[in-house]
Amino acid sequence: MSEVVTVKQTNMENIYECEFNDGSFRLCTRNLVSGFNVYGERLIKYEGVEYREWNAFRSKLAGAILKGLKTNPIRKGTKVLYLGAASGTTISHVSDIIELNGKAYGVEFSPRVVRELLLVAQRRPNIFPLLADARFPQSYKSVVENVDVLYVDIAQPDQTDIAIYNARFFLKVNGYMLLVIKARSIDVTKDPKEIYKAEVEKLENSNFETIQIINLDPYDKDHAIVLSRYKG
């Protein structure tokens, strides 16, 4: 197995680039829970610090960063509401980035998947798993505070409407949303580019300012991620 040669800070807080002796590069985050991985990712020791390899084929946020995300609004101390947290792959890296002063509320609909997320959260006190339906944010209003970032990765035809509805409950004015648009979950008959355009228009008609749209191919086919700011 190739060995790490160096670890460099990227231009995004708490996100690093690991270079291996075979010349390859990978994103990585500093491991909040030393000695433990989450989804089989490599643990990398460098100058007494442990990092976790961040697989862009397993995490859309990592894919977006590699495809040129201009800015990552998830930083140290950030409060994040994550809709569609699944078994914990991406939210575990969010946990690394925000550190213990931040909070990541992870909403997931499947009881089986939430059980896996709970195992991740047992070692990561800044992750708060919630078994809930993202279509009904009022059901978790009592336990989720206002957040700086809303991250949405759900496979629903009305995914953008669900995102906007949650933003009205939880996202601070001038807060950011990272919305994963899954074209095939919305309409299998249309060109994905048409779908991305239509969903972005929904956001802009609901007081969101579009900052960037990133096509996630080859990491996720027929997916895009939209970074926007909520004007309230």
φ/ψ of 222, rounded to 5, equals 60, 35
- Do 4-54 and 61-230 have matching folds? no
pLDDT of residue 193: 80
Report whether 167 belongs to an annotated binding site. Answer: no
Domain 61-230, CATH among 3.40.1050.10, 3.40.50.150, 3.40.50.720, 3.40.1080.10 = 3.40.50.150
- Residue 103: its pLDDT value, please? 98
Instruction: Note the pLDDT of residue 3.
Output: 79
* Beta bridge partner(s), residue 150: 81, 177
pLDDT less than 50: residues of the chain: 1
Q: What is the reported pLDDT for 2?
A: 60
Q: What is the pLDDT of residue 36?
A: 95
Task: Check the annotation: does 90 bind a ligand.
Answer: yes
pLDDT tens string 72-116? 999 999 999 999 999 999 999 999 999 999 999 999 999 999 999
Cα–Cα distance, 5 to 22 (Å, whole number): 9
Is 198 a known ligand-binding residue?
Answer: no
Residue 9 known to bind ligand: no
> Residue 156, annotated ligand binder?
yes
C-alpha–C-alpha distance, residues 135 and 209, integer Å: 23
CATH class of 4-54: alpha beta
Percentage, residues of the chain above pLDDT 70: 99
DSSP type of residue 138: G
Residue 109 annotated as binding site: yes
Question: How far apart, in whole angstroms, are the C-alpha atoms of residue 148 and residue 178?
Answer: 11
pLDDT more than 90, % of the chain: 79
161 is in an annotated binding site: no
Q: Is 153 annotated as a binding residue?
A: yes
H/E segment holding residue 46: strand 43-46
Residues whose CB falls within 8 Å of the CB of residue 133, separated by 6 or more in sequence, listed in order? 109, 139
Percent helix / strand / coil, the chain, rounded to 5? 25, 35, 40
Query: Which two three-digit tokens encode residue 126?
Result: 């800044």
pLDDT confidence of residue 219: 86
Round to whole Å and give the CA distance between 38 and 85: 13
104 is in an annotated binding site: no
Instruction: Report how many helices (DSSP H) and strands (DSSP E) the chain contains, helices first.
Output: 6, 12
The pLDDT value recorded for residue 101 is 97
Does residue 204 have a known ligand-binding role? Answer: no
Residues 95 and 98: their CA atoms lie apart, in Å, by 5
The answer to whether 82 touches 54, Cβ cutoff 8 Å, is no
Please state the domain extents for the chain.
4-54, 61-230
Cα torsion 121, 146, 14, 1 to 10°: value is 30
